[in-house]
């Protein structure tokens, strides 16, 4: 087995359990896509699927790219069995900070960042759209240690205040490791110069999907015939993903009111400018003051504004 850098910290909420990675046996070339929620996770999974399979045909990305640390979908042994049975190059999903993951030199890690204000807006739509069966799955994952699952606020202003004062996870509860956006992003920023870690930004994917897909392909050492490339880029567009949503999400779509249309909602940024009060926006500014200057520029602007993260002085 490949010797890892062991995770430095354990994280548990009603939806996440970092100890589930202890069931993972890596293969050289594996890809781990690790992001905070609603920062481009499924988008990046779709991009990586297109590059690995070299086909624009829609595929059930939620099934072929398991979410390893999810504590409410299936037992860890079942997740391990799915991963071990895969014969293609594997690409896995995580919503953990980097210090909650084992790091293997032979595995490639892709982290996707987003302005926390945009992530919060998207997460509110996501969480407020969960169906009762979805909540029942989360409830069933509870333990005596965790206690009854919390319910996130169902109005935007309250959700926003929780997000920017208590942490980026609506299930966050006092007494368990913090998953605030600052701490989450700082774990990746500190290791941004690792050769097997690629930092991607949601804004850059929106502004230059072709260019960012080429960065990801180069990082994964994947060559694509020139004639096929435009079809892969089109299949990764938001419009195509919206169209193919029922196939991409598979049974996971049933966990949301409106199905895949709710999950793949608008894919837009800056909606917070018109929907929150000045006091609410001030909370986001206060949180942003905890970022280093380089990390703040990166999160708010992406590579096209802040430059390559690897070259940032702080």
The pLDDT score that the predictor gives to residue 174 is 39
The pLDDT score that the predictor gives to residue 291 is 92
* First-to-final CA distance of the chain: 35
Q: Is 294 exposed, middle or buried (0-12, 13-18, 19+ CB in 10 A)?
A: middle
**Token pair for 214:** 């080429």
Element counts in the chain: helices (H) and strands (E) = 17, 4
Looking at residue 110, what DSSP letter applies? E
| Mean pLDDT along residues 78-100 | 96
CA–CA dist 127, 274 (Å, integer):
20
**Token pair for 218:** 């180069």
Q: Which residue has the higher pLDDT, 51 or 152?
A: 51
| Mean pLDDT along residues 254-263 | 65
**Token pair for 5:** 């850098």
Measured in degrees and rounded to the nearest 5, phi and psi for residue 51 equal: -70, -40
The pLDDT score that the predictor gives to residue 264 is 60
Q: What is the pTM of this model?
A: 0.91
CA dihedral 109, 113, 116, 118 (to 10 degrees): -130
Q: Write the DSSP string, 130-157.
A: B-HHHHHHHHHT--TTT-SPP---SSHH
| Mean pLDDT along residues 46-52 | 97
CB 36 within 8 A of CB 119: yes
Residue 276 reports pLDDT greater than 90: no
Residue 176 reports pLDDT greater than 70: no
Class of the CATH domain delimited by 18-311:
alpha beta
What tens digit of pLDDT does each residue of 285-312 get?
998 898 999 999 999 999 999 999 999 9
Q: Which residue has the higher pLDDT, 36 or 230?
A: 230
State the residue for tokens 């069966």.
133
CA–CA dist 68, 80 (Å, integer):
8
The pLDDT score that the predictor gives to residue 90 is 98
The pLDDT score that the predictor gives to residue 10 is 86
Least confident of 32-46, 150-164, 202-216: 150-164
Question: What mean pLDDT is reported for the chain?
Answer: 87
Asked whether the CA dihedral 67, 29, 204, 309 is positive or negative, the reply is positive
Cβ count within 10 A of residue 180:
21
Q: Is residue 249 very low, low, confident or very high in pLDDT (cuts 50, 70, 90)?
A: confident
The pLDDT score that the predictor gives to residue 177 is 41
What tens digit of pLDDT does each residue of 93-136 get?
999 999 999 999 999 999 999 999 988 888 887 777 777 887 78
What tens digit of pLDDT does each residue of 131-171 get?
788 778 888 877 777 777 766 667 888 888 888 887 655 44
Exposure b/e, 212-241, CB count within 10 A at least 16 = b: bbebbbebbeeebeeeeeeebbebbebebb
The candidate with the shortest Cα–Cα distance to 185, out of 172, 171, 167, 160, is 167
The pLDDT score that the predictor gives to residue 179 is 60
**Token pair for 245:** 């949503």
CA–CA dist 176, 147 (Å, integer):
11
Q: Which residues contact 128 (CB under 8 A, 6 or more apart)?
A: 152, 154, 159
CB 53 within 8 A of CB 59: yes
Least confident of 51-55, 96-100, 119-123, 175-179: 175-179
CB 309 within 8 A of CB 200: no
**Token pair for 271:** 């909606």
Residue 175 reports pLDDT greater than 60: no
Domain assignments of the chain as residue spans, ordered by start: 18-311
C-alpha pair distances (Å), 84 with each of 6, 126, 163, 296: 21, 30, 36, 39
Continuous H helices in the chain: 41-53, 61-64, 76-85, 116-128, 132-140, 156-165, 181-190, 202-207, 209-219, 229-235, 238-243, 245-249, 260-263, 272-275, 278-288, 293-301, 303-306
């Amino acid at each position: 087995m490949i010797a890892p850098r062991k995770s430095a910290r354990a994280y548990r909420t009603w939806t996440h359990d970092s100890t589930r990675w202890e069931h993972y046996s890596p293969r050289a070339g594996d890809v781990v896509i690790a992001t905070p929620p609603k920062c481009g996770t499924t988008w990046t999974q779709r991009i990586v699927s297109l590059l690995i399979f070299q086909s624009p045909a829609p595929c059930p990305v939620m099934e072929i790219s398991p979410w390893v640390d999810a504590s409410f979908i299936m037992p860890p042994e079942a997740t391990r069995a799915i991963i071990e049975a895969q014969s293609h190059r594997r690409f896995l999903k995580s919503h953990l900070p980097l210090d909650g993951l084992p790091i293997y030199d032979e595995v490639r890690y892709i982290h996707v960042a987003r302005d926390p204000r945009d992530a919060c807006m998207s997460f509110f739509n996501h969480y407020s759209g969960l169906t009762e069966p979805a909540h029942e799955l989360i409830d069933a994952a509870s333990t005596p240690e965790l206690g009854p699952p919390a319910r996130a606020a169902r109005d935007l202003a309250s959700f926003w205040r929780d997000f920017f004062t208590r942490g980026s996870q609506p299930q966050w509860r006092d007494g368990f490791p913090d998953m605030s956006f600052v701490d989450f992003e700082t774990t990746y920023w500190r290791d941004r110069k690792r050769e097997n870690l690629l930092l991607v930004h949601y804004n850059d994917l929106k502004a230059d999907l072709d260019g960012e897909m080429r960065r990801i392909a180069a990082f994964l050492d994947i060559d694509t015939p020139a004639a096929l490339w435009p079809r892969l880029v089109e299949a990764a567009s938001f419009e195509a993903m919206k169209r193919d949503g029922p196939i991409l999400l598979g049974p996971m779509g049933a966990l949301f009111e409106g199905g895949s249309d709710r999950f793949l909602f608008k894919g837009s940024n800056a909606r917070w400018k018109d929907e929150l009060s000045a006091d609410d926006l001030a909370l986001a500014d206060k949180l942003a003051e905890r970022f280093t200057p380089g990390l703040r520029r990166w999160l708010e602007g992406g590579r096209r504004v802040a430059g390559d993260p690897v070259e940032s002085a702080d």
